[in-house]
Protein backbone atom coordinates (compact mmCIF):
# COMPACT_ATOMS: atom_id res chain seq x y z
CA UNK A 1 0.00 0.00 0.00
CA UNK A 2 1.05 3.59 -0.56
CA UNK A 3 1.34 4.24 3.19
CA UNK A 4 4.00 1.51 3.36
CA UNK A 5 6.26 3.19 0.79
CA UNK A 6 8.84 5.64 2.15
CA UNK A 7 8.93 8.67 -0.15
CA UNK A 8 12.08 10.75 0.18
CA UNK A 9 12.21 14.35 -1.07
CA UNK A 10 13.01 14.90 -4.73
CA UNK A 11 16.30 16.72 -5.27
CA UNK A 12 18.14 17.56 -8.47
CA UNK A 13 15.22 16.78 -10.78
CA UNK A 14 13.14 19.42 -12.56
CA UNK A 15 11.06 20.02 -15.67
CA UNK A 16 11.93 22.78 -18.17
CA UNK A 17 10.07 24.18 -21.16
CA UNK A 18 12.26 25.81 -23.80
CA UNK A 19 11.70 27.47 -27.18
CA UNK A 20 12.49 25.04 -29.99
CA UNK A 21 12.47 25.93 -33.68
CA UNK A 22 12.14 22.25 -34.61
CA UNK A 23 8.92 21.88 -32.57
CA UNK A 24 7.08 24.47 -34.70
CA UNK A 25 5.03 23.22 -37.62
CA UNK A 26 5.56 24.52 -41.15
CA UNK A 27 2.14 26.24 -41.16
CA UNK A 28 2.47 27.68 -37.64
CA UNK A 29 3.88 31.19 -37.27
CA UNK A 30 4.49 30.75 -33.53
CA UNK A 31 7.71 29.52 -32.00
CA UNK A 32 7.62 25.84 -31.03
CA UNK A 33 8.30 24.75 -27.45
CA UNK A 34 9.75 21.52 -26.03
CA UNK A 35 9.41 20.01 -22.54
CA UNK A 36 12.47 18.37 -20.95
CA UNK A 37 13.11 16.35 -17.82
CA UNK A 38 16.35 17.52 -16.18
CA UNK A 39 18.51 15.23 -14.03
CA UNK A 40 21.07 17.28 -12.10
CA UNK A 41 22.06 14.29 -9.93
CA UNK A 42 25.17 12.11 -9.99
CA UNK A 43 23.01 8.98 -10.41
CA UNK A 44 20.81 7.96 -13.33
CA UNK A 45 17.03 8.06 -13.03
CA UNK A 46 15.58 4.66 -13.85
CA UNK A 47 12.11 3.56 -15.01
CA UNK A 48 10.87 7.13 -15.38
CA UNK A 49 7.14 7.72 -15.91
CA UNK A 50 5.87 11.22 -16.78
CA UNK A 51 2.15 12.00 -16.84
CA UNK A 52 1.17 15.40 -18.26
CA UNK A 53 -2.04 17.37 -18.65
CA UNK A 54 -3.38 20.92 -18.62
CA UNK A 55 -6.32 22.30 -16.67
CA UNK A 56 -8.03 25.61 -15.95
CA UNK A 57 -11.01 27.72 -16.99
CA UNK A 58 -11.84 29.75 -20.08
CA UNK A 59 -13.06 33.38 -20.23
CA UNK A 60 -16.66 32.24 -19.63
CA UNK A 61 -15.69 30.26 -16.52
CA UNK A 62 -16.04 26.85 -18.19
CA UNK A 63 -13.66 24.14 -17.01
CA UNK A 64 -10.99 23.11 -19.49
CA UNK A 65 -8.91 19.93 -19.20
CA UNK A 66 -6.57 18.58 -21.82
CA UNK A 67 -5.93 14.92 -22.54
CA UNK A 68 -3.54 13.15 -20.21
CA UNK A 69 -0.35 12.03 -21.92
CA UNK A 70 1.97 9.42 -20.45
CA UNK A 71 5.63 8.98 -21.31
CA UNK A 72 8.10 6.31 -20.29
CA UNK A 73 11.87 6.75 -20.23
CA UNK A 74 13.94 3.65 -19.35
CA UNK A 75 16.81 5.80 -18.02
CA UNK A 76 17.89 9.44 -17.80
CA UNK A 77 21.68 9.62 -17.36
CA UNK A 78 23.32 11.75 -14.65
CA UNK A 79 23.66 15.46 -15.44
CA UNK A 80 21.48 15.12 -18.53
CA UNK A 81 18.23 16.32 -20.05
CA UNK A 82 15.66 14.07 -21.75
CA UNK A 83 12.96 15.40 -24.10
CA UNK A 84 9.43 14.57 -22.95
CA UNK A 85 7.06 16.20 -25.44
CA UNK A 86 6.42 19.21 -27.64
CA UNK A 87 3.90 21.62 -26.10
CA UNK A 88 1.43 23.84 -27.96
CA UNK A 89 1.45 27.55 -26.98
CA UNK A 90 -2.39 27.40 -27.02
CA UNK A 91 -2.25 25.69 -23.60
CA UNK A 92 0.08 28.24 -21.95
CA UNK A 93 -2.94 29.94 -20.33
CA UNK A 94 -3.72 26.72 -18.44
CA UNK A 95 -1.96 25.08 -15.51
CA UNK A 96 0.41 22.59 -17.16
CA UNK A 97 1.18 19.71 -14.80
CA UNK A 98 3.92 17.08 -15.10
CA UNK A 99 3.84 14.24 -12.57
CA UNK A 100 7.24 12.51 -12.57
CA UNK A 101 7.99 9.14 -10.93
CA UNK A 102 11.36 7.37 -11.06
CA UNK A 103 13.80 5.13 -9.19
CA UNK A 104 17.33 5.77 -7.91
CA UNK A 105 19.05 2.67 -6.46
CA UNK A 106 15.69 0.92 -6.02
CA UNK A 107 14.12 3.83 -4.08
CA UNK A 108 10.97 5.32 -5.63
CA UNK A 109 10.63 9.10 -5.98
CA UNK A 110 7.79 11.17 -7.35
CA UNK A 111 6.92 14.85 -7.65
CA UNK A 112 4.36 17.06 -9.34
CA UNK A 113 5.72 20.01 -11.35
CA UNK A 114 3.18 22.70 -12.30
CA UNK A 115 3.61 25.66 -14.64
CA UNK A 116 1.09 28.39 -13.72
CA UNK A 117 -1.02 30.08 -16.42
CA UNK A 118 1.05 32.66 -18.29
CA UNK A 119 4.37 31.53 -16.78
CA UNK A 120 5.60 30.04 -20.07
CA UNK A 121 6.48 33.19 -21.98
CA UNK A 122 9.59 34.73 -23.58
CA UNK A 123 9.82 37.37 -20.82
CA UNK A 124 10.19 34.63 -18.17
CA UNK A 125 13.11 32.78 -19.81
CA UNK A 126 16.15 32.08 -17.64
CA UNK A 127 19.32 30.07 -18.43
CA UNK A 128 18.87 26.28 -18.29
CA UNK A 129 22.43 25.04 -17.82
CA UNK A 130 21.86 21.36 -18.68
CA UNK A 131 20.36 22.46 -22.02
CA UNK A 132 22.71 25.42 -22.60
CA UNK A 133 19.75 27.59 -23.63
CA UNK A 134 17.07 29.74 -21.99
CA UNK A 135 13.75 28.34 -20.82
CA UNK A 136 11.21 28.23 -17.99
CA UNK A 137 11.95 25.73 -15.21
CA UNK A 138 9.77 24.22 -12.49
CA UNK A 139 11.71 22.80 -9.55
Q: Do 99 and 1 meet the contact criterion of CB atoms below 8 Å apart?
A: no
> What pLDDT, in 10s, does the model give residues 85-117?
999 999 999 999 999 999 999 999 999 999 999
pLDDT at 21: 78
pLDDT at 28: 56
For 13, 15, 25, 29, 36, the CA distances from 138, given in Å and listed in that order, are 9, 5, 26, 26, 11
What is the pTM assigned to this prediction? 0.91
Q: Do 33 and 133 meet the contact criterion of CB atoms below 8 Å apart?
A: no
Q: Give the start-to-end residue ranges of the domains of the chain.
A: 9-117
> Per CATH, the architecture of 9-117 is what?
Sandwich (2.60)
**Residue 7 DSSP label:** P
Strands 133-138 and 13-19: antiparallel
Listed as ranges, residues in the chain with pLDDT below 70 are: 1-2, 23-29
Q: Do 4 and 129 meet the contact criterion of CB atoms below 8 Å apart?
A: no
Amino acid sequence: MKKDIAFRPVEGVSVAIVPDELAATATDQQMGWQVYLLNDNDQPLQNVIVSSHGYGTDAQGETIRTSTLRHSLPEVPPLAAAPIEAIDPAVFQLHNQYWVSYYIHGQVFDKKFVFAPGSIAPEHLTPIFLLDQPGVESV
